[in-house]
Each structure stands twice: as structure tokens, then as C-alpha cells.
Amino acid sequence: GNSVTQMEGPVTLSEEAFLTINCTYTATGYPSLFWYVQYPGEGLQLLLKATKADDKGSNKGFEATYRKETTSFHLEKGSVQVSDSAVYFCALSPLQGAQKLVFGQGTRLTINP
């Protein structure tokens, strides 16, 4: 079946630190991969995505590369800000263009000034 595993949180960092949130997946076929972010009191927002192997998604300084050989899609940012504090969800869509999403458990990130 399809599943997504994220690193356990919560994660607490100081401002300007380097961030990595690990995400690995299990899927049949060729899924699309996503990172969603949920700021306090708001709905999930798409942060970035990648639709095929070796694609790199990027947005707002965050990056993630679709690694088929390691079935991973780790989220990275070189220098985090307090405003990045949120819950981050890794997700996959089993089929290209499909709309159903399978989510990881979410990682709560807190950035201290």
C-alpha cells in the first residue's frame, strides 16, 4: 500500500539554523510528492511538490528532491526564520494527476529568535 513516514517532532531550532525534516514513502507506481505547511489557525497550504524522480521542488527557501532510489523527499532550508514555525506534512498522490493524498503524521517546527 501507500504510506508516508516523517521524522518525529517536535523540532525546535534557533533562527538561522539549517533545517532538515526527513520523509520517506512507500508507493506502487510513480507517485507525486508534496510538502504542505499548516500555520497556526490556518488550513494546509502547498509548500512545494515534485512529480517525478530527481525533480527538485522549491519555494520560500525550502527545497526537497524526489529520490526514487531511497524513496525519500526530505525537506531542507538553509536558514530558518521565526515565521517558519508551523506544522509540516509530507504527502504523496499515488497516481499522476490524482487528487487523493496520503499524508505523513506531520512535524511541528518551532523557531526561536
The nearest distance, CB 6 to other proteins, in angstroms, is: 8
DSSP 7-68: --S-EEEETT--EEE-EEEE-SS--EEEEEEE-TTS--EEEEEE-STT-EEEETTEEEE-BT
- Residue with Cβ nearer other proteins (42 or 69): 42
Task: Calculate Rg over the CA atoms of the chain.
Answer: 13
101 contacts other proteins (rule: CB under 8 A): yes
- Give me the 41-70 binding string for other proteins, x by CB under 8 A, dash otherwise: xxxxxx--x---------------------
Residues at the interface with other proteins (CB under 8 A): 4, 36, 41-46, 49, 89, 99-106
